[in-house]
Amino acid sequence: QQSVCDWLEARKGVKVQQNWVEACLEWIEQEEGGGVPMASLREMVYGQLLHADLRDVVVQPCIPASVPQQQTTTITGHFIVQVDSLVDVGAAAYAQLQKIKGQSLDDVDTKKNFEPKPTRLLLLSLTDGVTDFQAMEYHPIPQLTTDLTPGAKLVLRGTIGCRLGTLLLSGDQVELLGGGVESLAGINRQSRVLARALNDESLAGEGGTTESGPPPTTGSSSAGPPARSTGNEQLQEDN
């Protein structure tokens, strides 16, 4: 267990709770039986990590907790963070919502409109498991789209500027690990995020109130990690 913890910290840069790893390993043992080689054991734990809520798993924040308070600063390093939600603040929420609902304006250009097409500007609600903060798409981050699964994990690396508590991200600083958090899937569905931006949750449309899935497991030894394994977890060695 300790070795898995150490591996996660050393290679992935996350310091996780011991008992979460324990529960994780227990669960894997139940599912797979014993005798899983260490290497795949690690990867399976890592896969679980991507689908866990970092808040329930992480013991040590990787991003300085002072970031949200500071006017201007930079952080340098390697950070695993979780995207709780994201929204494109470069376009009107109403128009985005209409588009999702398939009610876009049926329009024809009778007048020539020369206004340039606005660029996307994602605003991400992130957490490193301890501190919540915002990040913005300062330069395009093609890896991210608005239909990103809520709770997906990212690696941020390099020197990242921060202003007014907001990280300024560029594409080359972001690596998408994937994953997601089941409990966020419902409440941070794109349509609900947009509806919240408009201060009217009811606009989210059908299914707006269904919360999918139970809250994630906590670190208690009684519960295993959410038994999920999607095929698209590209497990990569850290460089």
Partner 1 sequence: MRKGTCLGGKRMAAQRQCKVLNVAEKNDAARELSKVMSRGRFNRREGFSKFNKIYEFDFNILGKVGRVGYLTLYSFVSCAACCQECKMVMTSVSGHLLSLDFAPAYKNWSRTLEKEIRGCQHLVLWTDGDREGENIAEEIVHVCTQVKKTVQIHRARFSEITPQSIMRACASLGRLNQNVSDAVKVRQEVDLRIGCAFTRFQTMRLKQVFSSVLSDQLISYGPCQFPTLGFVVERYKQVQAFIPESFHKIKVVHETTEGRVEFNWKRVRVFNHTVCLILYQMCLEASRKMRINAKETMRIAEKLYTQGFISYPRTETNMFPESFDLTAIVRDQTPHPNWGGFASQLLARGVTPRQGNKTDNAHPPIHPTKYTNSLQGNEQRIYEYVVRHFLACCSQNAEGHETSVEIEVAGEGFSAQGLAITARNYLDVFPYDKWSDKTMPVYQENSTFQPSSIEMVEGETSPPSLLQEADLIALMEKHGIGTDATHAEHIETIKNRNYVGVQSDGHFVPGELGMGLVEGYDAMGYELAKPRLRAELENDLKLLDEALSKYFGPPQQVTQQVRTASSTLSGATVQTGLRASCVPREMTACTTCHLTLLHDLQFPSIRVTQNNASSSTTTGSSSGGRGRRQRGGVSPQPRDEGKRWWVVVVVRGEDREDGGGGMVVGMVMSGEVEEEGEECLLVTHQLHSPPLNQIQSRQFHKCSKRGDGGCNFFLWMDQDPHPAPLSSSLPPPPSPSPSSSVHTSGYGSMNTSCSGSSRSGPGFLSAPKRGSGRGRRGRGGGRGTAATSGGGAGMGVVCNCGQDAVMRTVQKEGPNKGRQFCTCSKPREDQCGFFEWADDVPTSNITPGLFFYLVYKKNMVW
Nearest to 172 by CA among 152, 151, 187, 158: 158
User: Taking the complex as a whole, how short is the minimal distance between the CB of residue 131 and partner 1, in angstroms?
Assistant: 17
Task: Say if CB 86 and CB 144 are below 8 A apart.
Answer: yes
Nearer Cβ to partner 1, position 7 or 133?
A: 133
CA dihedral 85, 181, 129, 87 (to 10 degrees): -10
Q: Cβ closer to partner 1: 190 or 217?
A: 190
AA letter at 27: W
Q: How far apart are CA 160 and CA 139, in angstroms?
A: 12
Using the minimum distance from each CB to partner 1, give the nearer residue, 139 or 220.
Answer: 139
Nearer to partner 1 by Cβ, of 39 and 105: the residue is 105
Tell me how far, at minimum, the Cβ of 65 lies from partner 1, in Å: 19
For the bound state, the minimum distance from the C-beta of residue 174 to partner 1, rounded and expressed in Å, comes to 17
Report yes or no: 81 and 57 within 8 Å, Cβ to Cβ.
no
Find residue 157's DSSP bridge partners: 78
The contact set with partner 1 (CB under 8 A) reads 89-95, 103, 105-112, 114-119, 121, 123, 134, 136, 138-139, 163-164, 166, 168, 197-198, 200, 203
Give the nearer residue to partner 1 in terms of CB position, either 13 or 140: 140
Residues with Cβ within 8 Å of 109's Cβ and at least 6 positions away in sequence, in order, are none
Strand partners, 16: 58
Q: Which distant-in-sequence residues (6+ apart) come within 8 Å of 203 by Cβ?
A: 97, 191, 194, 195
To partner 1, the closest distance from the beta carbon of 163 in angstroms equals 4
Rounded least distance, CB 231 to partner 1, Å: 35
Q: Is 96 exposed, middle or buried (0-12, 13-18, 19+ CB in 10 A)?
A: buried
Nearest approach in angstroms of CB 101 to partner 1 is 11
Residue among 89 and 235 whose Cβ is closer to partner 1 = 89
